[in-house]
Amino acid sequence: MPDQPAPAKRVLIAEDDDSLRRLLELRLRAEQFEIQNAADGAEAIEIAERWTPDVVVCDVMMPRMSGLSVCRELREREATTHVPIILLTARCFDEDIQQVMALGGIEYIGKPFDFNELIATVRKLLGEPVNIAPRTIDLSLESTSR
């Protein structure tokens, strides 16, 4: 009997910027992750209650519930207490962020960020091999008129 492929890892994206949320979804889906989206912190908690993610990518500054509150809430719940979280923010690394990171299993990536770095961080947190090979583009202009 052939080996069954492993189920896709689940990534919950909590980001209030519609364009960035969609871009994150497209990039992570292209990496074969299963995605759920939330436009604010409260929605992220609701989704995590019914669909336990393997990783959460969470903006810090969001309506209804900040990303820092999302981190605290997820750490208090049995089903999500060990789910790794990646905080995305343009905010300076301050005492509030430091306190949340002390809860454990939380990474910080400043905006603007590199998508390859984000994907590598997701894979690292999932215990997957991280293979960031530089993308090369052939820009040679070979003339076809000989």
pTM given for the model: 0.84
Q: What is the pLDDT of residue 145?
A: 46
Question: Which pair of structure tokens corresponds to residue 35?
Answer: 């995605």
**DSSP designation for 11:** E
pLDDT tens per residue across span 94-142? 788 888 888 889 999 999 999 999 999 999 999 988 765 555 555 555 5
Non-local (6+) Cβ contacts of 83 within 8 A are: 48, 52, 53, 54, 55, 56, 74, 105
CATH homologous superfamily of 10-125: Response regulator (3.40.50.2300)
Mean pLDDT of 32-45: 97
Q: What is the pLDDT of residue 90?
A: 86
Q: What is the pLDDT of residue 130?
A: 76
Domain boundaries, the chain: 10-125
Question: Which pair of structure tokens corresponds to residue 18?
Answer: 């519609």
Q: What is the pLDDT of residue 144?
A: 47
* Residue 146 confidence class, pLDDT cut points 50, 70, 90: very low
Greater confidence, 132 or 42?
42
> Is residue 143 pLDDT above 80, yes or no?
no
* Cis, peptide link before residue 129, omega less than 30° from 0: no
Distances (CA, A) of 98 to 1, 19, 71, 93, 107: 49, 28, 12, 7, 10
Greater confidence, 128 or 24?
24
pLDDT tens per residue across span 68-96? 999 999 999 999 999 999 999 887 777 88
